[in-house]
Every structure is written in C-alpha cells, then in structure tokens.
Amino acid sequence: MPKIHFIDVTNRDTVQASRINLSKLQKTMVNYYLGQMGIYQSEFAFPFVKSEQNYARANLSLRELGAFGNLILEGWCRASPSDVAEAVSIGVKDVNVSMSTSDQMITHKFGGRLDRAAVIKEMTSAVTYAREQGMSTVGVNAEDASRTDLGYLVAFAQAARDAGADRLRYCDTLGYETPATIYRRVRTVAEQVGIPLELHCHNDLGMAVANSVSGARAAIDAGVDAYINTSVNGLGERAGQADLLSCILAIKFAREMDDYQIGDPLNLRVSAKLANYVSYAFGVPIPINQPGVGENAFAHEAGIHADGTLKDRRNYELYDFELLGLDLEAPPPRGRVITTGEFGGLAGFEHVYERLGITFGSKKEASQILDLVRYATAHNQLNLTDDELRFIAKYPDQVRQILTITP
Ligand SMILES: [Zn+2]
C-alpha cells in the first residue's frame, strides 16, 4: 500500500515570503526539530544563493553526524543545469527543480521566450543533468500546476518521469483548487503517468490543508506514494500554505482516513516545541485557534462544553494535548534570571550552561563557546533558546560555519 510522507518547506517557501525571515542558525534549528519529529524531508535551502551556501554545507555535515535523524535535506533549484551544478558543488544530494507550466505563466512570465515544448525541454535538461551528477532524488515542480491544461500537465509529468525524475510536485501555487477538483486532477496525473505525487498547496482561499489531504488521497487511490508539502504554523507566501501539524492531525483523526497511512514513524510530542520555536524565531504569534497548538485548541469555558469535557474529554476533544507535547512546554522563569548573549561574560555564561547541565573541560573551551554564543545572538538578534545553547555547545564547528554568511 502506498504511503504519505511529509516534505516541510518552511526553510525555503516560508523564508522567501514577504516580511518574515529566519537566520541561518534558526533554519538549522527547524531542521533539528523536524528531524526529532521524524519528518521525511526538509526543503532546506536555495543551494545556488551564495548567502545560503555555508549554512547548506554545515547542515549537510550535521546530517552526516546524525543531528537530524533520518531527515533528508533537499535543495530547491530553478530547472536549469547551472542551478543544479551549484547544488552539486556544495554537496547537495537531493534536489527539486522548478518550472512554470500554466499558459498564464508561460505567456505572461516567460513573455514569448519559451513555449510549452521549450518548457518541457528546459525541465528535462535539468533532470537529466541532475541524474548524471548522481543525485539521490530528483523531484520536478510544476509551478501553477492547478491552472495548467491537464493534458499538457500529463505530458510534462511523463517527460519528467522519462528523464529520470522520482516525483512530480503538483503546485497549487495560488491556492485555486478545491478538495474535489484537486482529487480529480491529481488522480488523473498519477494514473496516467504512474509517478509519485507531491502536493504543494497554498492557502489563498483557506483550503490548503483540505486540498493537501484530498490530493494525497488521490495519489494513494491511484497507487502511488504521496508527499505533502507543509510549513510550520502554515506560514508561507501570502496567506501561507498547508500547516504541517494540521495535515498530520487530519490524516490521523479525520473520518474515513484509516486506509491512508503516514509512511514514517512520527514523534508528535515535538509538535508544540517546533511550533513555539518557529513562532518565536519569525516573531509571528501562533493564532489562538490554531489546530493542535493554539492557546484555545484545548480550552473550554461554555457551561455545556466544560461540563462535558470534565466528564469525558472525548465529548469535546478529538485527540489528546499530551500527544502533541503541550504538557512539556515550561512557562518562562520568573524572579531573578541570568541570561547570556552578545554582551555577556564568562560567569553568566557558565551559570546559564550549568542550569542546562553542561559544563566545560577548561576555561579555554568555555571561552570558545561563549564567543559563538555572542556571535549567534548578534546573528539571530534574539535571545538564544535553551536548545540553541545546547546545539552550539554540541556542534561548535558547524555553528561557526553557519554563522558565516559571506562566502
Ligand atoms: Zn509555494
């Protein structure tokens, strides 16, 4: 039976959205939590963007060290051999190459430079090159797939498969689909081409999660694996994209989903930590009504609801808050607090680390980590979290590389 996997694109799609950013260390921590959670893949970088390259190299080496579990780190490229060559040059082993496929974009973005046949030719040249370079996986993104003529999309997918692509990304770039329409179209592509499908759904009409789940069902029903693209807290271009946790919860707890299984063992107790971290790093609060991790997701006040929940939580709750690690999140300390940061000294630094259960073998080693903590705080422009402090102490060489943005 084919399965559903998750490809989180927070570190690519969300960071490219307007007005919100992550530092390279924060992107690294997102990979760290995705790895802890058991997510299949992180679209972790633009490998051809120079400011990403030290981060990308360091994260690939962290993966080798086991810092991210089995998480696959995949780079996003435009469908051109030169982008793929940049990815190869920094050691990226998994890529997705992206090409617009709708007549709207072919006509009004490419402006006559490319027609439908040339679009397929550019895409296949990138896939062929990526295969020649020994990439482990090559995905092909059909940008604006949802507004693409279905017959042409099938031909595009077939050409991708013939050139050696492992998957086709069905991009609902503008959030145009409904659950019923994406089901029909994805099922057609999957049945006619037999290629595993990625679902990449945006939320402009508020249907990203529903469309992702429906598209995944279509792929599975057609006999191929489904890969849902998500972001943490649903942030992304414009109105965002499919929220990671909402998609997982829908697959696990929605009606008639028993035949649709997630293909990776997930540790959902990381969910609250991941959501809170991403909210902190972006400076974007989690909505009070966010599924699973919003402050009101398990709150009850109305008489009938409170009474019913107290009698049996299943009266008003589909799933348990403990499942998501909400019970693990500690409130911030009160009273006197010692912190460390860009302008901190050794005594405060050592005090903070002792509280985390970490001591250093020598003053020299402590000073070296303190230096990194100072740079990391300057880099993030936010107080470091306990997990960031732990990470810096555990992987100082890679963190040093991550903090160096200039090539
Ligand atoms: Zn997108």
- Residue 339: inside a domain, yes or no? no
In this predicted structure, what is the pLDDT of residue 334? Answer: 87
In this predicted structure, what is the pLDDT of residue 239? Answer: 97
- Residue 85: inside a domain, yes or no? yes
Distance 291 CA to ligand 1 centre (A): 21
Residue 331 banded pLDDT, cuts 50, 70, 90: confident
Cβ < 5 A residues, ion ligand 1: 13
Distance 362 CA to ligand 1 centre (A): 47
- Residue 215: inside a domain, yes or no? yes
Distance 167 CA to ligand 1 centre (A): 16
Q: What is the mean pLDDT of residues 327-349?
A: 92
Secondary structure in 3-state letters for 141-187: EEECHHHCCHHHHHHHHHHHHHHCCCEEEEEECCCCCCHHHHHHHHH
**pLDDT tens track for 250-302:** 999 999 999 999 999 999 999 999 999 999 999 999 999 999 999 999 999 99
Structure tokens at 31: 């990979």
Measured between alpha carbons, how far is 373 from 378 in angstroms, rounded to an integer?
9
Distance 373 CA to ligand 1 centre (A): 33
- Residue 301: inside a domain, yes or no? no
Residue 25 banded pLDDT, cuts 50, 70, 90: very high
How distant, in Å, are the alpha carbons of 72, 101, 187, 227 from that of 220?
22, 24, 9, 10
Distance 106 CA to ligand 1 centre (A): 18
**pLDDT exceeds cutoff 90 at 170:** yes
Distance 146 CA to ligand 1 centre (A): 12
Distance 246 CA to ligand 1 centre (A): 17
Q: 228, 244, 272 — which closes off a domain? A: 272
**pLDDT tens track for 306-317:** 999 999 999 999
In this predicted structure, what is the pLDDT of residue 330? Answer: 82
Task: Tell whether 217 and 359 lie within a shared domain.
Answer: no
Task: Tell whether 259 and 360 lie within a shared domain.
Answer: no
Task: Tell whether 260 and 396 lie within a shared domain.
Answer: no
Distance 66 CA to ligand 1 centre (A): 28
Measured between alpha carbons, how far is 137 from 251 in angstroms, rounded to an integer?
25
Q: What is the mean pLDDT of residues 374-398?
A: 98
Distance 143 CA to ligand 1 centre (A): 8
Structure tokens at 286: 């989690």
Q: 272, 298, 330 — which closes off a domain? A: 272
Distance 144 CA to ligand 1 centre (A): 9
Domain of 104?
4-272
Task: Tell whether 376 and 236 lie within a shared domain.
Answer: no
Strands 167-172, 41-45: parallel, antiparallel or unpaired by DSSP? unpaired
Distance 237 CA to ligand 1 centre (A): 7
Structure tokens at 190: 């999957």
- pLDDT above 70 as % of the chain: 100
Measured between alpha carbons, how far is 392 from 339 in angstroms, rounded to an integer?
15
Distance 383 CA to ligand 1 centre (A): 30
Distance 206 CA to ligand 1 centre (A): 14
Q: Which residues pair with 345 in a beta bridge?
A: none
- Residue 68: inside a domain, yes or no? yes
Distance 334 CA to ligand 1 centre (A): 40
Residue 216 banded pLDDT, cuts 50, 70, 90: very high
Distance 285 CA to ligand 1 centre (A): 21
In this predicted structure, what is the pLDDT of residue 366? Answer: 97
Tell which residue, 132, 20, 27, has the closest CA to residue 73.
27
How distant, in Å, are the alpha carbons of 53, 152, 242, 367 from that of 117?
33, 10, 31, 60
**Which H or E element spans position 4?**
strand 4-8
Distance 178 CA to ligand 1 centre (A): 17
- Residue 82: inside a domain, yes or no? yes
Measured between alpha carbons, how far is 124 from 162 in angstroms, rounded to an integer?
9
Task: Tell whether 110 and 200 lie within a shared domain.
Answer: yes
Tell which residue, 160, 49, 175, has the closest CA to residue 98.
160
- Residue 328: inside a domain, yes or no? no
Q: 272, 304, 320 — which closes off a domain? A: 272
Distance 390 CA to ligand 1 centre (A): 32
Which pTM was predicted? 0.97
- Residue 385: inside a domain, yes or no? yes
Tell which residue, 174, 187, 189, has the closest CA to residue 219.
187
Distance 309 CA to ligand 1 centre (A): 39
Q: Locate tokens 């689909």: which residue?
A: 177
**pLDDT tens track for 111-143:** 889 999 999 999 999 999 999 999 999 999 999
Structure tokens at 350: 């050592």
How many other CB atoms are found less than 10 A from the CB of residue 259? 9
In this predicted structure, what is the pLDDT of residue 10? Answer: 98
Distance 173 CA to ligand 1 centre (A): 6
Measured between alpha carbons, how far is 37 from 32 in angstroms, rounded to an integer?
9
Distance 229 CA to ligand 1 centre (A): 9
Distance 55 CA to ligand 1 centre (A): 22
Structural domain count, the chain: 2
**Which H or E element spans position 200?**
strand 197-201
**pLDDT tens track for 246-262:** 999 999 999 999 999 99
**Which H or E element spans position 125?**
helix 116-132
Task: Tell whether 363 and 247 lie within a shared domain.
Answer: no
**pLDDT tens track for 44-73:** 999 999 999 999 999 999 999 999 999 999
Name the 3-class secondary structure at 351: helix
**pLDDT exceeds cutoff 90 at 101:** yes
Task: Tell whether 69 and 175 lie within a shared domain.
Answer: yes
Distance 374 CA to ligand 1 centre (A): 34
Helix, strand, coil share of the chain (percent; to 5): 50, 15, 35
Name the 3-class secondary structure at 292: coil
Q: What is the mean pLDDT of residues 81-92?
A: 98
